[in-house]
Structure 1
């Protein structure tokens, strides 16, 4: 009796401790979510991670309207994504990655995202409950949930009756032992050996898909938690989730046979392992789950997109909390494109200098190296994309047309394809021309157009390309060192510039955008500041003056 009482006491202690530990774990997780809100997310990224993130987007890709790879890389959108990605689930981060690529061209979806972001920002209690539900679903390192689901879609469904027969055969052979020990024993040994062999043979083929089923079960459990939260503000989404989840009851029922709740070699797990070897229970359950999955794939897609949207909007709301200030974009479908921004900045720059511009025309930006030209046009591009994806502009005011956004900036030689920088550049510019259309204006950004060729042909060709772009429902921002272009294109492009000052052999930049073309010529002066020999800098100044007077270069002599 005392032994039984002692066992009971130990059982109660372990039970109470388990309940306490679980509550403490949830309390700590909740506090972590509070602390992480509005902070830069702590995530590790690898090349494999980004490849997995792109799997869902690749199935949704629209080459005519989306942010393409060149533009994405030009303006460092992966770094922007990392700033925003405070998602709790693998589905959420895959959906967010796709969202930042897919520009919206009407206000309907953007306003719905705005409603959700405001809800999650204003209602911490509600948001935390939803985040805990999303956390149940979890993330998978360097693996795309969407890609794995597609793999499951392609798996051949098999009949379960062979496995049922093997299990029945083993039972019959065991029953036969009392009546005929020799034959019963031999049959039992043969059936056991066959069942184990067939089990490992089949299990090896589908092992990887068990992970997919495990994630789907976690996803459905998380969805069930969201439904039970009974949040009126997201009732429409909860109704969709409830309807879609309902068709997966057969999938969930008995899933513990395939995916034990407790990993780590507990007695129940060991017992189930032996049963599976003989009776193939997990294989039979797997193919039953596979049948249910294939019959309800559309419902799973609905769950994926609904969960992805909610999780992405939580992350976007956290991003808004992180940045110094933002504005809600005023986006319009207009006949003539326009862009009006006040106090715009880039989230990747500490202590950014704010700039403003109002224009209905294309714009040439001049100035010396490091003066701010490239940073400014990248800032405009990033804000145009964020405005048409997460409905957030890093500015005090953003009014603009709905735009396609394209750039040609950080290009490199294609050594593997045996293409020179110039070939890569003209292909990049041609893709912008090819994607322009009458109904949706294009906002494009070009840094040092045709820098890969000689001065004469560069100015002749680039002036015509830029003129063409300005006339085809496009606002083009082009950064250039070629002052000649500001004169040649003055009827088509507005001129702005950045300037620098040299004070006591120091180069000072204020990074403020100024209307008009650049007038300072400090390139040679900068050589002096950097300590170049006086024979180089003085001779360069003399030759420049000679060219301005004579219209030709002085021939150098030894």
Structure 2
């Protein structure tokens, strides 16, 4: 009796120590999360392994969006860096939804207004923002793949039935009965059933183990959704949401209703889910009861049968789960928008609709630490000229990003932005396709052709950006062909911003393009740029002067200048010091 009491006390102390250690670790993690949430507000996102490694790349394709930024435009605008700059998400659902927002500009003002009102509420209500962020932190990240991908991968398991497990468990009953009449036979059957169950247990457990990650995340989302709905309910009852206006309260009530509906819809999935989730760490319990439960799972396949039931529910409730992911993700993404706004020196909410064209005041690039602000107000296409490194490409990217951010997160780094809804496309930072065996010129004309095709569809107006059109071919054919292509990118349903070094194009296209330029200043052998956009075509060149600044041989620079001046005078290329016509 004393020995039993002794071992019982040891087991009790072990359980208490493990529980105490778990509480201490949980409290420590919560304190770090609270510190992280407060420190990030008003600054750039802090490094976070879970967030940085969150899989979001393919998540925007789920749901079949009507329009999304294609890979060329996404890469041209460095949208991956823009996403990282805006991403303050605390969960995979939030990171995926924010990525989806940026990848899929919307054309509905009501959607943008909803995002704006939610983000504004998060910015104004510190307690609401921090409490929701803590609930989202507990949901966390999935890791290598997005949840949508995990749900798709579940199809690889095929149909799974628990009938064979139930049948094998039923064999235990006659085996136990035979122990009283035929002990030897009863023990033999009991041992055989036990061995078969144990061997098949580990085989099937290996098959289903990779898919437990998605189940675990769904369970975390359900618990997180309960906490989020609780936070929203307390905010509603305290009247803090009403202070922001009836529209805001209605929006949050809508999302709270979605969360509660989805929680109820997944009630059967959560019931006794711990049985299946214990497979993630078999034989991992430290206490006597844990060890006993581990052996019961191997002997009876309780966790495998529960897994099969949960798998069936996931397949039946796929739309409910995806709706839950979207609702949680939208709340998290709107918190990211609020954080991003707080980190900016200034921003504006876009004025959508209005006359055809584009108007921006104090527009700057969102990734630059000390950006130069520029203004543009045009109802006509824009052709930008200027010397090398003067700011042409950066301005085109800045205008394109303004349009994307206006139609995604309703936040533009400018003093004012007014434009109708556009489909944004670009052909800027292209490269040779070595794997596909295509030259730069072939890559470029394919990229331009897709823009021309989109303009010909006659749907939503196209806002396109083209940098150094047809730079991959000779001067004569480049000017001839690019003048026709750029003229094709004008008219109803398209607004084109283009940059070029070819001054000839500013004359050939001045009836359909407004001319703008950037310029440089050269003093004491050094060159500087103010990066301010000015009206009119560029009047200076600096490519040869840059050779001198970089220390090239004086003879090379001098002869190059003489050759250029002779061409401008005669229209012919002649070798310096010779009469030979090239």
Question: CA offset at residue 44 of structure 1?
Answer: 6.4
Distance 1:142 1:262, change over 3 A: closer
Q: Which residue number corresponds to residue 240 of structure 2?
A: none
Q: Which residue number corresponds to residue 60 of structure 2?
A: 57
Q: Answer whether contact 1:157 1:290 (CA < 8 A) is retained.
A: no
* Residue from 260, 263, 269 that aligns with 1:245: 263
Distance 1:167 1:222, change over 3 A: same
Report SS of the residue matched to 2:161. coil
1:284-331 per-residue CA deviation (whole Å, 9 max, x = no partner) reads 101111222222222112111111111111111111111211000001
Matched, 1:385 2:404: yes
Report SS of the residue matched to 2:497. strand
Q: Which 5+ residue runs of structure 2 have no aligned equivalent? A: 237-248
How many Å separate the matches in 2 of 1:156 and 1:90?
Answer: 26
Q: Which residue number corresponds to residue 256 of structure 1?
A: 274
Q: Which residue number corresponds to residue 83 of structure 2?
A: 81
| C-alpha RMSD of the superposition | 2.5
How many Å separate the matches in 2 of 1:159 and 1:13?
Answer: 40
1:353-412 per-residue CA deviation (whole Å, 9 max, x = no partner) reads 111110011111111111111111101111110110000110011011111111000111
Report SS of the residue matched to 2:277. coil
Question: CA offset at residue 141 of structure 1?
Answer: 2.1
Distance 1:261 1:206, change over 3 A: closer
Report SS of the residue matched to 1:193. helix
Matched, 1:39 2:43: yes
Q: Which residue number corresponds to residue 448 of structure 2?
A: 429
How many Å separate the matches in 1 of 2:549 and 2:381?
Answer: 35
Residues 333-344 of structure 1: matches in 2 within 5 Å? 334=355, 337-344=356-363
Q: Answer whether contact 1:448 1:480 (CA < 8 A) is retained.
A: yes
Q: Which residue number corresponds to residue 510 of structure 1?
A: 530
Q: Which residue number corresponds to residue 299 of structure 1?
A: 320
Distance 1:333 1:342, change over 3 A: closer
* Residue from 322, 343, 346 that aligns with 2:365: 346
Report SS of the residue matched to 2:58. helix
Q: TM-score, normalised by structure 2?
A: 0.90
- Number of residue pairs aligned between Structure 1 and Structure 2: 553
Question: CA offset at residue 103 of structure 1?
Answer: 0.9
Q: Answer whether contact 1:71 1:407 (CA < 8 A) is retained.
A: yes
Question: CA offset at residue 534 of structure 1?
Answer: 2.3
How many Å separate the matches in 2 of 1:6 and 1:59?
Answer: 53
Report SS of the residue matched to 1:435. helix
* Residue from 24, 30, 33 that aligns with 1:29: 33
Q: Which 5+ residue runs of structure 1 have no aligned equivalent? A: none
Q: Which residue number corresponds to residue 424 of structure 2?
A: 405
Range with greater deviation from structure 2 (235-244 or 171-180) = 171-180
Matched, 1:524 2:544: yes
Q: TM-score, normalised by structure 1?
A: 0.93
Distance 1:125 1:186, change over 3 A: same
Q: Which residue number corresponds to residue 458 of structure 1?
A: 478
Question: CA offset at residue 11 of structure 1?
Answer: 7.5
* Residue from 91, 100, 103 that aligns with 2:102: 100
Q: Answer whether contact 1:365 1:479 (CA < 8 A) is retained.
A: yes
How many Å separate the matches in 2 of 1:289 and 1:505?
Answer: 73
Q: Which residue number corresponds to residue 142 of structure 2?
A: 140
How many Å separate the matches in 2 of 1:309 and 1:513?
Answer: 37
Q: Answer whether contact 2:142 2:214 (CA < 8 A) is retained.
A: no
